[in-house]
Amino acid sequence: MDVFAAENLRLVLDILLASAIGMLMMSRVRQARTFWLLRGYLFLITAAWFVQHLVSLQLSTQLVDSLVLACSVSLAILWQGELRRFMELLGTGRLFVLLGNPQKELKAAESIIAQISEAAGRLSQQRHGALIVVDLGSDLRPEDFLNPGVTIGAQVSRELLLNVFAADTPLHDGAVLVRGNRIESAGVILPLSRHSVSRYGTRHLAALGITERFDRCVCIVVSEETGTLSLANQGKLERPITSSRLETLLRDLFSNTEARQPARRTVGN
């Protein structure tokens, strides 16, 4: 009887732990398509477990196991950036990024939205090219960039952003990294998009590149040629937008409301 009770307890703990891991994985997903893929994959794994342990059908077990293996390989290819990031977090011991609540950080940083939007609007009017990366919980590190730039560590302000992106400053060609209510660094060189889009310039490709790799960050772009203001989010670009529209989008992102679908245009940089 004790052995039977121990086996039941072990089974219950196994199911609870697996359910907790599954819920944690789904809670980290923000894009609807990725959520459905992950849910289908977890359902397939659950079905495989039931077929193997409760029904004991050998042929069905082999078939389901083969499907799970094929789906695992496919998802590893599709999510190679996310898996790479997960392994980096495990290797560096920064599990708090996975287990923490990013919404607390977003609410604390909401006061910077007006400063960023006003600065972007002014830069757009002056046709000063700019890239502003806003970390919404990806915990971007220096090794995530081609060049980490120069450490700033200052409070976000409209005046500081305007000075950084002034045409005669040495840091104006790179990006600014904003986390919380502080400018972490400037002159950052971002990785370019994996997808070659000929109608976009280097700044827009850099904005698409960083948001393709990290889904919890956005990038504001000001075209030096046209003054067009854009917002990159999850590898998609919305342009052209006004500074008031930018402020609305940022508030939506910071409050974790449903993301609006970006409207793509074919205007060059």
Three-state DSSP string of 190-252: CCCCCCCCCCCCHHHHHHHHHHHHCCCEEEEEECCCCCCEEEEECCEEECCCCHHHHHHHHHH
How sure is the predictor about 267, in pLDDT bands with cuts at 50, 70 and 90?
A: very low
Q: What average pLDDT does the structure give for the chain?
A: 78
Strands 217-222 and 229-233: antiparallel
How sure is the predictor about 102, in pLDDT bands with cuts at 50, 70 and 90?
A: very low
Peptide bond into 262 cis (omega under 30): no
Average pLDDT over residues 248-257: 76
Evaluate if residue 100 carries a pLDDT over 60: no
Residues 6+ apart with CB under 8 A from 264: 236, 237, 238, 239
Average pLDDT over residues 2-24: 73
Evaluate if residue 185 carries a pLDDT over 90: yes
Per-residue pLDDT, 269: 43
Per-residue pLDDT, 253: 83
How is residue 75 written in tokens?
Answer: 């998802």
Per-residue pLDDT, 130: 94
CA atoms within 13 A on the CB side of 104: 5
At residue 106, the 3 state secondary structure works out as helix
Per-residue pLDDT, 256: 54
CA–CA separation, 175 vs 133, rounded Å?
A: 7
* Lowest-confidence region among 1-15, 120-134, 175-189: 1-15
Average pLDDT over residues 244-263: 68
Q: What is the end-to-end Cα distance of the chain in Å, rounded?
A: 73
Per-residue pLDDT, 142: 83
Instruction: Please tell me which of 37-41, 51-55, 79-83, 84-88 the model is most confident about, judged by mean pLDDT.
Output: 37-41
**CA distances from residue 238 to 182, 228, 260 in whole angstroms, order as listed:** 25, 11, 10
Per-residue pLDDT, 80: 66
Helix H or strand E segment including 109: helix 102-109
DSSP one-letter string for 28-82:
T--SHHHHHHHHHHHHHHHHHHHIIIII--HHHHHHHHHHHHHHHHHHHHHTHHH
Per-residue pLDDT, 229: 94
CA–CA separation, 253 vs 127, rounded Å?
A: 26
How is residue 255 written in tokens?
Answer: 């409050």
